[in-house]
Amino acid sequence: MPTNRYWTVSGKPLGGWPEADTFTLHEAEPPEPGPGQALTRTIYVSLDPYQWGYKKRGVEAPGAPCHARTVAQVVTSRMGGFAPGDLVFNTNGWAEYGLMGEGVARPSYMIPRKLDPAQGRISQAVGVLGMLGLTAYAGMVLMADPKPGETAVVSAASGGVGQIAGQLARLRGARVVGIAGREAKCRFVVDELGFDACVSHLSPTMPADLRAACPAGIDVYFENVGGAVFDAVLPLFNPGARMTICGLIASYGDAGGDARAALMKRGEAVFKERGVTVRDLFVGDFVEGHHDAFLAEVAPQVASGAIKYREDIRQGIESVPACFAEMLRGDNFGKMLVQVGADPTL
């Protein structure tokens, strides 16, 4: 049997952002599947901002591998419908091997499923063809519903969710403006993804840059960031604008406080005066009712190139915590994944 290497939270108090000693690497034999379970080997580990919240809130059981959505391959199975060799979406976490099936702890909406490589690259099952694509679809199409000619703004525009949210708005005829970090990301958002403009939140003139990029104001705002980015968007809302709060990553390193409540307070007067509708997004609410419709619409668009999707795929289980920290501070360029096992489809 091969060795299973996996990461846990070290147990020291988790402050602002992850540090070098926040996580510990372990080695053990892979777990034995019980009745109704399958052993799977991880191929891709998805690194996402929400995982930091899980760790800070202590959602993971002590000593358990850090949670993550994964793409994996079945090694041995005692689980109906899954056979050795099957490629699956599941939640092995920051680990080379993991169990799925009966009694295996996972968020209720992260349901293991078989992957069809004909539908798209298997790595995309944790990105554009999975929960991140559904997040963008739910927040942009179902909640904000951009109309032709309207101006839609997306923050963290080159990231896992932002890339898709902006392209979905563009495909619905909106004028789309991205907000991203470094120059190369802003160029990618315009030149590759086809946004109409992109401004950098690293520029000292960002509020004025955004105003210039949105001469007709903002009708739709897909919020991934909060903080100073939200403050620049706020004065530009048009009457009847719609804002989807997808995430507030600028506050994920805060020691405490309620970032959403603080944002709502800062926005209160403008929201009221201009009739801005603010909706909170939780992707788990959309999996059951909308995943299939979303996939039917978006998978062919990804396959045809009508929707482009950039991944930032790193290598090796040892590198997972460093890659996670890089993603949180914006040093990813596209959806962040770590490949920890061979991908048989490549």
Ligand X SMILES: NC(=O)c1ccc[n+]([C@@H]2O[C@H](COP(=O)([O-])OP(=O)(O)OC[C@H]3O[C@@H](n4cnc5c(N)ncnc54)[C@H](OP(=O)(O)O)[C@@H]3O)[C@@H](O)[C@H]2O)c1
**Which residues form the interface with ligand X (CB under 6 A)?**
48-50, 132, 135, 156, 158-162, 180-181, 185, 201, 224-225, 227, 229, 246-247, 249-250, 281-283, 327, 330, 332, 335-336
For ligand X, the closer of residues 33 and 93 by Cβ is 93
Question: In the complex with ligand X, which residue's Cβ is closer, 74 or 246?
Answer: 246
For residue 157, which amino acid is it? A
Helix (H, G, I), strand (E, B) or coil at 244: strand
- In angstroms, what is the minimal distance from the CB of 344 to ligand X? 26
Q: How far is the CB of 232 from ligand X (least distance, A)?
A: 11
For ligand X, which is the closer residue by CB, 78 or 182? 182
In the complex, least distance from residue 160 CB atom to ligand X, rounded to whole angstroms:
3
Q: Least distance (Å) from ligand X to the CB of residue 277?
A: 17
Please report, as a single letter, which amino acid is at residue 222: F
Whole-angstrom CA distances from 294 to 249, 257, 291 are 25, 35, 5
Whichever of 83 and 184 has its CB closer to ligand X, that residue is 184
As a whole number of angstroms, the distance between CA 288 and CA 111 comes to: 10
Q: Least distance from C-beta 93 to ligand X, angstroms?
A: 17
The contacts of residue 328 (CB under 8 Å, 6+ apart) are 17, 18, 49, 52, 249, 252, 253
Nearest residue to 181 via CA among 163, 198, 205, 160: 198
* Helix, coil or strand: residue 142: helix
Contact 225/156 with Cβ under 8 angstroms?
A: yes
Nearer to ligand X among residue 82 and residue 195 (C-beta): 195
Q: How far is the CB of 253 from ligand X (least distance, A)?
A: 8
Of the two residues 199 and 317, which places its CB atom closer to ligand X in the complex? 199
Residues 6 or more apart in contact with residue 74 via CB below 8 angstroms: 38, 39, 40, 82, 83, 84, 85, 86, 88
